Structure 1
């Protein structure tokens, strides 16, 4: 007898001929792209001026970008020579996700035009062409067979859609590039990342940022399905130092792309938030200590710097130079970290979380009470310490505008670059600590403290070290925050508030980005700060949406947006080589001929 394996062909969501679906997707993408050169409305009252024929503007640019990327991936899936490198992993999932992103952005634009101008009668024929063409692209993409079968017996539309959104791992590269070409690819990748971030932060109205968000989210997921990020990750791992240098050069170039300080202010605050989140990542991500009052250490550093800043409202009345103020803020937070950590770090889990939450609230209430009435006059109570002067570093006044390389850098651009230096320091500390003997001991404590203690690790001392290090990093960032915002008040350091940074948002940034990674908290902090800053209309619903987003994240990607290999294996056990795939008892694996 001969064994023959029966394998069902991959299924599509819609029963369309595979070739027709692939070509239909490409044709729909071309039609969508062409529609962006037509007028979508008759009046310029809608922002972005979508009345011009022959020149895309505003949200049309996003639709054009999505359609162009969809077309390129569709042609790559068809095997067009010169484009196959775009999809070393999946082909169906990226095309479908980009088609959905383009349709979502286009549909949102048409809906926004109708809502703002008072009905669909305000849509020009070009808008209808865009809507129909983008919908056609999605329908045809749903007819493309999945890259791989999901090996389940479910036959419903939802099961077929889930199968279509899966993608295989990227194929190994068949061509070895020279080192200079690999470095060039890394530089181009970070340059594109800078452009995408700059475009998003520079959006001038809510509709444009919302469309940008739709396309970037679905486009980003599509990009991961192509397998290109995994190849880029391999290149950055091979040229780690060059990759880090390129990342920070791209970040340093951001102020030079701005014409005013409006959005540089947002970027500077994002860096403050991200740096503090990275410090919390030492405590939570490496050592596994759930700290719900971490924002208090940021406040300690900010208050310490404000008291010695030379502010006329400071009760101490001293003016330290920059380096001394930074050391004062970091040292004050370090001391508080040790004082709070020493008696509490013998607790574990929820008990430690409750104690740290209490510390955060005690700090805020204490700062409120040190007003001369309820206690000594140290912090001016709820009024805080205003009128904090700008920093001067070697005679360089960060509060003044300076011309660098022909570009005028304002106050917030100066503080952005200073905060970037602090971010580099924190990233360096995190990387060195994470790969050191102490870092490995922290990971052992995080995974199983009892087992780590049985292996001879002094768990209390190492937990206290993590707590103190995280506190000092937050205090260092707090010294810059105090000068960026001109003042410090107790209400800035609550456990939860609509606007970050606060303890809840800091912890969420670490979880959202990916615990234990360097880039994860940076990405998470940027998203959690930028989205509320741009979508201010969701202010009263922000915490609700924030909770819903966390629930969805825990359901579909519990390891975070950027996860290390350990977390991926922990949350997706079937990806491990030593875990066999589970089959139902009735599922035949092999059919014997003649049986």
Structure 2
């Protein structure tokens, strides 16, 4: 049993107070041994029948969920060896190895535990488990239990003599983030690391979107969630983030190149369709991030601007179901849709942006519902025949650009791109435009004014910022970006209907999911809404059996996120300082003049 000692000595860490250290050298050795056993077990058969998704019946090479467990066990082994002081692995854990080891070990145990339970449930009992599954499970259990006994990477304020396993796990998630470590590598090596990072992200995303069946995808979520959090606690993510900030243009180019390669990796055109819809949803979320993340305006009817762009582009697309006998070129249809959304943004924002907080949220929610009801009533009976009511506008033709019909397969360098892959590339072009606009506007003078309004509108107005004008610009810009995405969405889906633009429904895009994507990903950041939008679209697409419980599941996910990471998955420095206790005083220390020859120091309350 590990001994517990208290160390009252001061520390440079941000967390003050007495510290609890749990020196347990045997715990790390047990973690190494357990993860090695779990890794070896992935090369053995886990079940005897191929009825379970993935080929888990072959001995000699892993497949399906075995690959995920192998990755988790391998990362646990590497992090544990790094904490052991193995030469050459220190670069892997610049922020500390123990928390990362603990998280990846728990993720490995969670994945193998879920897999064993799913096999038993689907095939009729634990008798369907082969010895390989038991060996892997026992090894993962040993590694997880031993990892919970590892000491803390950072000081832990001790309220009692033994913080317990739950406190150790909570501390791994909520301790101050590992500091960014300055890199001493040459520039070419840093660029190679950035490229490798985005290549790894492409591999992970491609693997996740290509999983067939709910069981492999749930295992994928467990593994990626714990391993990413572990890598973040180890400092790997912070180091990569520092490199991307240093070489920002290189990072954006690498991200674009990785996304450009995605359709070339897909044999199934349906997966390319999921990728296209993810880009549409994530791009709209990034437009909402201008309104919510930068300007701090709670807009609950933002999906209506997506609908305005989609309906406008559909009406001028030349479809037979449109009442207007016109056919604009695609670029003109996109500009028309974006312009219509801009007009609606100004018309709705001008009278409502003088409101604040909950009142603004209620008004924008009302606008979203009014838009849906209006287009539903423009059916020739309750109103003029413009949108065909609940039937919507259908048979929207495919886009033709420079003689290239996106509805027809295209052969490029031996790769065949189907219709959905073509639209993925088209939507990727618009995503780059939206990201560029967001970056430029956020770093401009108007972007700083948005942040000032978000933090304290009264103080910003007192400093000379025209709050109404600044907020109206944010509202109009967000609406325009949504209109761009809506124009592409109309052509991708062949039709637009009123039911696609509700506040909350079981299928995105809708205002509730868009807002959740911004909060989940990280408000005010570029990559945050893109990641949040990808998750919130991909998860419902893969877990169709949870259709009736999606809102409940996402509600619980947001509660957990607010508890452990309120700044979102990707957060800027301002949010991290705002939501986490750094141990710094709220008011700087004030030096008092000496009284009676004795100096005194008083800290502000």
The TM-score bracket by the shorter chain reads: over 0.9
Residue of structure 2 equivalent to 1:530: 538
1:56 shift after superposition: 1.2
- In 1, the alpha carbon distance for the partners of 2:172 and 2:423 equals 46
Most deviating of 149-158 and 90-99: 149-158
Query: Of residues 187, 196, 201 in structure 2, which corresponds to 1:188?
Result: 196
Residue of structure 2 equivalent to 1:127: 133
Alignment of 1:304-323 (within 5 A): 304-323=312-331
- In 1, the alpha carbon distance for the partners of 2:133 and 2:496 equals 49
Query: Of residues 431, 435, 438 in structure 2, which corresponds to 1:423?
Result: 431
- In 1, the alpha carbon distance for the partners of 2:181 and 2:262 equals 33
Secondary structure at 2:557 match in 1: helix
Q: CA RMSD in A?
A: 1.7
Deviations 1:309-365 (A, max 9, x none): 010111112100011001100000001111111111111111111111000000000
Residue of structure 2 equivalent to 1:151: 157
Q: Relative to structure 1, is the Cα distance of residues 173 and 163 closer, same or farther in structure 2, using a 3 angstrom cutoff?
A: closer
- In 2, the alpha carbon distance for the partners of 1:309 and 1:143 equals 64
Does the alignment pair 1:368 with 2:376?
Answer: yes
Residue of structure 1 equivalent to 2:3: none
Residue of structure 2 equivalent to 1:409: 417
Q: Tell me, yes or no, if the aligned pair for 1:10 and 1:148 is still in contact at 8 Å.
A: no
Q: Tell me, yes or no, if the aligned pair for 1:93 and 1:167 is still in contact at 8 Å.
A: no
- In 2, the alpha carbon distance for the partners of 1:46 and 1:357 equals 45
Secondary structure at 2:411 match in 1: strand
Residue of structure 2 equivalent to 1:111: 117
Normalising by structure 1, what TM-score? Answer: 0.94
- In 1, the alpha carbon distance for the partners of 2:479 and 2:175 equals 41
Residue of structure 2 equivalent to 1:475: 483
Deviations 1:166-201 (A, max 9, x none): 666546757611111110110000000000010000
Q: Tell me, yes or no, if the aligned pair for 1:273 and 1:501 is still in contact at 8 Å.
A: yes
- In 2, the alpha carbon distance for the partners of 1:53 and 1:109 equals 17
Secondary structure at 1:127 match in 2: helix
- In 1, the alpha carbon distance for the partners of 2:20 and 2:535 equals 36
Does the alignment pair 1:74 with 2:80?
Answer: yes
- In 2, the alpha carbon distance for the partners of 1:350 and 1:204 equals 42
Q: Relative to structure 1, is the Cα distance of residues 394 and 226 closer, same or farther in structure 2, using a 3 angstrom cutoff?
A: same
Does the alignment pair 1:549 with 2:557?
Answer: yes
Q: Tell me, yes or no, if the aligned pair for 1:493 and 1:502 is still in contact at 8 Å.
A: yes
Residue of structure 2 equivalent to 1:519: 527
Residue of structure 2 equivalent to 1:587: none
1:163 shift after superposition: 3.8
1:421 shift after superposition: 0.7
Secondary structure at 1:196 match in 2: helix
- In 1, the alpha carbon distance for the partners of 2:455 and 2:175 equals 30
Does the alignment pair 1:87 with 2:93?
Answer: yes
Residue of structure 1 equivalent to 2:352: 344
Q: Relative to structure 1, is the Cα distance of residues 436 and 44 closer, same or farther in structure 2, using a 3 angstrom cutoff?
A: same
- In 2, the alpha carbon distance for the partners of 1:418 and 1:237 equals 27
Q: Relative to structure 1, is the Cα distance of residues 394 and 160 closer, same or farther in structure 2, using a 3 angstrom cutoff?
A: closer
- In 1, the alpha carbon distance for the partners of 2:32 and 2:512 equals 45
- In 2, the alpha carbon distance for the partners of 1:462 and 1:424 equals 24
Secondary structure at 2:582 match in 1: helix
- In 1, the alpha carbon distance for the partners of 2:90 and 2:349 equals 55
Q: Relative to structure 1, is the Cα distance of residues 208 and 5 closer, same or farther in structure 2, using a 3 angstrom cutoff?
A: closer
Q: Tell me, yes or no, if the aligned pair for 2:53 and 2:212 is still in contact at 8 Å.
A: no
Query: Of residues 459, 476, 490 in structure 1, which corresponds to 2:498?
Result: 490
Q: Relative to structure 1, is the Cα distance of residues 447 and 368 closer, same or farther in structure 2, using a 3 angstrom cutoff?
A: same
Residue of structure 1 equivalent to 2:225: 217
Residue of structure 1 equivalent to 2:4: none
Residue of structure 2 equivalent to 1:584: none
1:161 shift after superposition: 3.9
Does the alignment pair 1:97 with 2:103?
Answer: yes
Normalising by structure 2, what TM-score? Answer: 0.92
Secondary structure at 1:151 match in 2: coil
- In 2, the alpha carbon distance for the partners of 1:286 and 1:84 equals 38
Query: Of residues 64, 68, 73 in structure 2, which corresponds to 1:62?
Result: 68
Q: Relative to structure 1, is the Cα distance of residues 316 and 545 closer, same or farther in structure 2, using a 3 angstrom cutoff?
A: same
Alignment of 1:218-367 (within 5 A): 218-367=226-375
Q: Relative to structure 1, is the Cα distance of residues 235 and 43 closer, same or farther in structure 2, using a 3 angstrom cutoff?
A: same
Residue of structure 1 equivalent to 2:14: none
Q: Tell me, yes or no, if the aligned pair for 1:283 and 1:466 is still in contact at 8 Å.
A: yes
Q: Tell me, yes or no, if the aligned pair for 1:10 and 1:147 is still in contact at 8 Å.
A: no
Q: Relative to structure 1, is the Cα distance of residues 476 and 173 closer, same or farther in structure 2, using a 3 angstrom cutoff?
A: closer
Most deviating of 166-175 and 183-192: 166-175
1:579 shift after superposition: 6.1
1:260 shift after superposition: 2.2
Q: Relative to structure 1, is the Cα distance of residues 363 and 575 closer, same or farther in structure 2, using a 3 angstrom cutoff?
A: farther
1:575 shift after superposition: 5.3
- In 2, the alpha carbon distance for the partners of 1:266 and 1:502 equals 16
Deviations 1:85-130 (A, max 9, x none): 1010021110010000001100111111101110011111111111
Q: Relative to structure 1, is the Cα distance of residues 119 and 330 closer, same or farther in structure 2, using a 3 angstrom cutoff?
A: same
Q: Tell me, yes or no, if the aligned pair for 2:20 and 2:158 is still in contact at 8 Å.
A: no
Q: Relative to structure 1, is the Cα distance of residues 5 and 285 closer, same or farther in structure 2, using a 3 angstrom cutoff?
A: closer
Q: Relative to structure 1, is the Cα distance of residues 251 and 575 closer, same or farther in structure 2, using a 3 angstrom cutoff?
A: farther
- In 2, the alpha carbon distance for the partners of 1:172 and 1:330 equals 40
- In 2, the alpha carbon distance for the partners of 1:101 and 1:552 equals 17
Secondary structure at 1:312 match in 2: coil
- In 2, the alpha carbon distance for the partners of 1:363 and 1:172 equals 47
Q: Relative to structure 1, is the Cα distance of residues 470 and 193 closer, same or farther in structure 2, using a 3 angstrom cutoff?
A: same
- In 2, the alpha carbon distance for the partners of 1:163 and 1:264 equals 40
Secondary structure at 1:574 match in 2: coil
Q: Tell me, yes or no, if the aligned pair for 2:176 and 2:582 is still in contact at 8 Å.
A: no
Q: Relative to structure 1, is the Cα distance of residues 67 and 160 closer, same or farther in structure 2, using a 3 angstrom cutoff?
A: closer
Q: Relative to structure 1, is the Cα distance of residues 33 and 461 closer, same or farther in structure 2, using a 3 angstrom cutoff?
A: same
Does the alignment pair 1:438 with 2:484?
Answer: no
- In 2, the alpha carbon distance for the partners of 1:398 and 1:164 equals 48
- In 2, the alpha carbon distance for the partners of 1:188 and 1:164 equals 27
1:5 shift after superposition: 5.5
Q: Relative to structure 1, is the Cα distance of residues 369 and 163 closer, same or farther in structure 2, using a 3 angstrom cutoff?
A: closer
Q: Tell me, yes or no, if the aligned pair for 1:11 and 1:160 is still in contact at 8 Å.
A: no
